[in-house]
């Protein structure tokens, strides 16, 4: 009887283990298919837009409805991708989704008790905003790292940057350069000037506090710094031939 019970427990353990592996394999397969699909298909929405739309129902104060409009790469002024790379991730053309130097600097700041600064790359921000939920848990960060690797493996750099320009938040619940260009400058994104592109990029760290329509001296200072970085990087810095 003991042997029969022992064999029964081993049988259940094997079933649980098999089921767990099937779930993991299914999640991996579905994630790969989703990333592959959106390599070519314009995103109808994103995870963060859906979360913001749901959050409006429980908000204590009325929040603006999320605005999101897809703008293909060919309809965006070349000043815009250069501006956001200059502002957010200057090693974007060279790294494989993770800026190890920035991560090391951030860890060193934390070790010395300084204020932690972000080290997320454009690829990581796309992974988080398009496919994942918001949060700071270790599990979510692990999922972000996994999706970032998939993006770098399955999408060309230009596609990653194109999607970033369409999902970045340039104002409260205002997503994408297409919507931002019309809202702030009353023009399509193809006609944005270098100064306007730099102003949009200047508010990316915190679009709820830093405003395009009412730029503070700090935002103007960031705008000027970004313009200088754009000049130093050069117009061809975000020209890609990997699509």
Query: Residue 136: inside a domain, yes or no?
Result: yes
Tokens for 134, please give them: 């918001």
Mean predicted lDDT score pLDDT of the chain: 87
Token pair listed for 186: 């009353």
Chain segment 34-49, per-residue pLDDT in tens: 999 999 999 999 999 9
Order of strands across the sheet that contains 169-171: 67-68, 174-175, 169-171
Q: Residue 109 pLDDT > 60, yes or no?
A: no
* 90 part of a folded domain: yes
Tell me whether residue 65 is in a domain: yes
Say if 2 falls within a structural domain. no
Among 57-61, 62-66, 143-147, 157-161, where is mean pLDDT lowest?
Answer: 57-61
* Stretch among 14-23, 30-39, 49-58, 153-162 having the lowest mean pLDDT: 14-23
Q: What was the pLDDT predicted at 222?
A: 97
- Residue-wise pLDDT tens digits, 186-200: 999 999 999 999 999
Helix (H, G, I), strand (E, B) or coil at 38: helix
Q: How many domains does the chain have?
A: 1
Residue environment code for 85-100, b if the CB has 16+ CB neighbours within 10 A, otherwise e: bbbbbbebeebebbbe
Whether residue 121 contacts residue 95, with contact meaning beta carbons closer than 8 Å, is answered with yes
Is the confidence at residue 2, as pLDDT, over 50? no
Q: Which domain holds residue 213?
A: 15-238
Of residues 148 and 20, more confidence is placed in 148
The CATH number of whichever domain residue 85 belongs to comes to: 1.10.3810.10
Question: Mean of the pLDDT values across residues 50-65?
Answer: 74
Taking the C-alpha atoms of residue 154 and residue 150, their distance in angstroms, rounded to an integer, is 6
Q: Is the dihedral of CA 81, 181, 173, 218 positive or negative?
A: positive
Q: How far is the C-alpha of 158 from the C-alpha of 78, rounded, in Å?
A: 12
Residue 159 within any structural domain of the chain: yes
Distances in Å between the Cα of 242 and the Cα atoms of 12, 152, 172, 199, 206 are: 49, 12, 33, 28, 31
List the structure tokens of 9: 């427990």
> Lowest-pLDDT range, 61-65, 138-142, 154-158?
61-65
């Amino acid at each position: 009887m003991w042997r029969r019970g022992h064999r029964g427990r081993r049988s259940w353990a094997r079933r649980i283990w098999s089921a767990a592996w099937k779930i993991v394999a299914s999640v991996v397969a579905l994630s790969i298919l989703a990333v592959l699909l959106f390599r070519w298909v314009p995103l109808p929405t994103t995870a963060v837009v859906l979360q913001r739309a749901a959050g409006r129902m429980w908000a204590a104060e009325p929040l603006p409805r999320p605005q999101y409009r897809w703008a293909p790469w060919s309809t965006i002024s070349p000043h815009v991708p250069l501006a956001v790379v200059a502002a957010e991730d200057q090693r974007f053309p060279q790294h494989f989704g993770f800026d190890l130097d920035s991560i090391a600097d951030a860890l060193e700041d934390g070790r010395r008790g300084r204020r932690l600064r972000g080290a997320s790359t454009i690829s990581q921000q796309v992974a988080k905003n398009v496919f994942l939920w918001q949060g700071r848990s270790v599990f979510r960060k692990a999922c972000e790292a996994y999706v970032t690797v998939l993006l770098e493996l399955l999408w060309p750099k230009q596609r990653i940057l194109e999607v970033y320009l369409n999902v970045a938040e340039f104002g409260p619940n205002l997503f994408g350069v297409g919507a931002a260009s019309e809202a702030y400058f009353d023009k399509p994104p193809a006609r944005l000037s270098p100064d306007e592109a730099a102003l949009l990029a200047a508010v990316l760290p915190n679009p709820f506090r830093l405003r395009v329509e009412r730029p503070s001296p700090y935002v103007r200072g960031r705008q000027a710094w970004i313009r200088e970085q754009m000049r130093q990087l050069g117009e061809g810095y975000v020209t890609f031939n990997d699509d």
